[in-house]
C-alpha cells in the first residue's frame, strides 16, 4: 500500500505517545475542594462520595499538608456551621467555621492559594444561596449586600480568593467594590461564570448538610442554554473577575471550550460530586478501570480549555502524576 499519511506512526509506543501528547495535566492544575464542619470530633466519611470526608479543623490541616506535598495548585474550602438561619448569619461571623477554616489553611500552607466559597447555601435554614423575600423568592440585591459582608470576612481571615458561587446577578462587581474599598485589592475573585442547575450536584448536598427546600432553577443556569453561558461569563469578566469557572465539568465541555476561546483570563472547571461518585461507583463494581478513567476525564477537561481543574481526586491524581513511570 502506498500510504503517505500514516497517523498511526505517532501512536506506536508509549514513548512516542508521550512525546507528541497535545494535552498534559500537571499537579499544579488541580484544586482540592474541602469541607470543614463545626463541632466534629473526627473526620466523617461522606457516604455518597466514597473517599471524601467532612473535616475537623485538625484533619483539615493534615489534608492540606498532604495536598501541598503532592504539589496540587490550591485548596477550595466550604464551611458547614452548627447553626443555620434565614439570613445565613454564620457566613459573616469572623469566628464562624468557614473563617476559622480559612485561617487554619492560611497558617498551615501559607504558600498555597486558598479559595473560600462565597455563598450562603451552607448557612441558611432554607438552603438557598441568598436571603428570601416574604414571598419566598431569592432577593438578588439584598443577597449582594450579604455577599459583600462575607467577602470581607473571608479576606480578613486570609483567603487568597473568594469563589462567587451563588449565581446572583452583579455578585462579582459587588464583591470587587467591597474588597477594594477596604483595601483588599489583591484578594482575587474566582467567578462561577457558568453555573448550571445540575442534577450532578446531588452528592454535594450530603457533603454540606444541605437544608435546601425546592430548587435553584430561578438563579442557576438552564442546562439547555449555551449562548446564555457566554453572556454570563462575559459579564463576570467585565465586573472584574480574575478567573472564571464552568460548573459542572464533563457534561459542559462544550461550554468550557467556548469560554476558553472567548476570554483572556484563566478558566476553571469543577468536576462535581455527581461526576466523582459515578466514576467511583462504576469502578467499585469493576465496570471501568478507575485510574485510567479518572485521568481520561481530567485530561478531557484540560483539553477543552480548563487551565484549572477543581476535583476531589486532586491529591491522589497529583501523586500519580508525580510518578510518571506508568503514563502511556
* The length of the chain, given as a count of residues: 328
Where does 20-96 show beta strands of DSSP type E?
30-37, 44-45, 53-55, 74-80
User: What pLDDT tens digit does each residue of the chain (328 aa) get?
Assistant: 889 999 999 999 999 999 999 999 999 999 999 999 999 999 999 999 999 999 999 999 999 999 999 999 999 999 999 999 999 999 999 999 999 999 999 999 999 999 999 999 999 999 899 999 999 999 999 999 999 999 999 999 999 999 999 999 999 999 999 999 999 999 999 999 999 999 888 888 877 778 777 788 888 999 999 999 999 999 999 999 999 999 999 999 999 999 999 999 999 999 999 999 999 999 999 999 999 999 999 999 999 999 999 999 999 999 999 986 444 4
The whole-model pTM stands at 0.95
Residue where the block lists cell 472564571: 244
Q: What is the pLDDT of residue 287?
A: 98
Strands 243-247 and 267-270 turn out to be parallel
Q: Which residues are catalytic?
A: 195, 247
Question: What pLDDT shows up at residue 324?
Answer: 66
Handedness of CA 89, 90, 95, 99 (dihedral sign): negative
- 3-state DSSP of 112-128: CCEEEEECCCCCECCCC
Asked whether the bond before 248 is cis by omega within 30 degrees of 0, the reply is yes
Question: Which residues, 6 or more positions from 49, have their beta carbon under 8 angstroms from its beta carbon?
Answer: 203, 206, 207, 273, 276, 277, 280, 312
* Residue 74, helix vs strand vs coil: strand
Angle at 195 between CA 227 and CA 301, to 5 degrees: 85
Domains of the chain: 23-326 (3.20.20.70)
Residue 210 has a pLDDT of 80
Calpha distance 124→209 (Å, rounded)? 11
pLDDT of residue 204: 81
Is residue 254 within 8 A of residue 306, CB to CB? The reply is no
Q: What is the pLDDT of residue 215?
A: 84
Q: Left, alpha or beta for 286 (phi > 0: left; psi -120 to 50: alpha)?
A: left
Q: What is the pLDDT of residue 325?
A: 47
Amino acid at each position: 500500500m502506498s500510504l503517505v499519511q500514516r497517523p498511526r506512526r505517532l501512536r506506536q509506543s508509549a514513548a512516542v505517545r508521550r512525546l507528541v501528547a497535545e494535552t498534559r495535566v500537571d499537579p499544579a492544575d488541580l484544586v482540592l475542594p474541602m469541607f470543614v464542619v463545626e463541632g466534629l470530633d473526627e473526620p466523617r466519611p461522606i457516604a455518597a462520595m466514597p473517599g471524601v470526608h467532612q473535616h475537623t479543623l485538625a484533619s483539615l490541616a493534615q489534608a492540606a499538608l498532604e495536598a501541598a506535598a503532592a504539589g496540587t495548585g490550591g485548596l477550595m474550602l466550604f464551611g458547614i456551621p452548627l447553626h443555620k438561619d434565614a439570613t445565613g448569619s454564620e457566613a459573616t461571623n469572623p469566628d464562624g467555621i468557614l473563617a476559622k477554616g480559612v485561617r487554619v489553611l492560611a497558617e498551615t500552607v501559607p504558600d498555597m492559594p486558598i479559595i473560600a466559597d462565597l455563598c450562603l447555601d451552607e448557612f441558611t435554614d432554607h438552603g438557598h444561596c441568598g436571603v428570601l423575600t416574604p414571598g419566598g423568592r431569592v432577593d438578588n440585591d439584598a443577597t449582594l449586600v450579604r455577599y459583600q459582608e462575607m467577602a470581607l470576612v473571608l479576606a480578613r481571615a486570609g483567603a487568597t480568593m473568594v469563589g462567587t458561587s451563588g449565581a446572583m446577578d452583579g455578585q462579582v462587581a459587588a464583591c470587587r467594590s467591597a474588597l477594594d474599598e477596604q483595601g483588599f485589592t489583591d484578594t482575587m475573585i474566582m467567578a462561577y461564570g457558568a453555573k448550571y442547575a445540575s442534577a450532578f450536584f446531588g452528592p454535594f448536598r450530603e457533603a454540606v448538610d444541605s437544608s435546601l427546600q425546592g430548587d435553584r432553577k430561578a438563579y442557576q443556569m438552564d442546562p439547555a442554554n449555551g449562548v446564555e453561558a457566554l453572556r454570563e461569563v462575559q459579564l463576570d469578566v467585565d465586573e472584574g473577575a480574575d478567573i472564571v469557572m464552568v460548573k459542572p465539568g464533563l457534561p459542559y465541555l462544550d461550554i468550557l471550550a467556548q469560554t476558553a476561546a472567548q476570554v483572556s483570563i484563566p478558566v476553571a472547571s469543577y468536576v462535581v460530586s455527581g461526576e466523582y461518585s459515578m466514576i467511583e461507583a462504576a469502578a467499585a463494581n469493576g465496570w471501568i478501570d478507575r485510574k485510567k478513567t479518572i485521568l481520561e476525564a481530567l485530561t478531557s477537561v484540560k483539553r477543552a480549555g480548563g487551565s484549572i481543574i477543581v476535583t476531589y481526586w486532586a491529591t491522589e491524581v497529583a501523586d500519580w502524576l508525580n510518578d510518571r513511570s506508568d503514563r502511556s
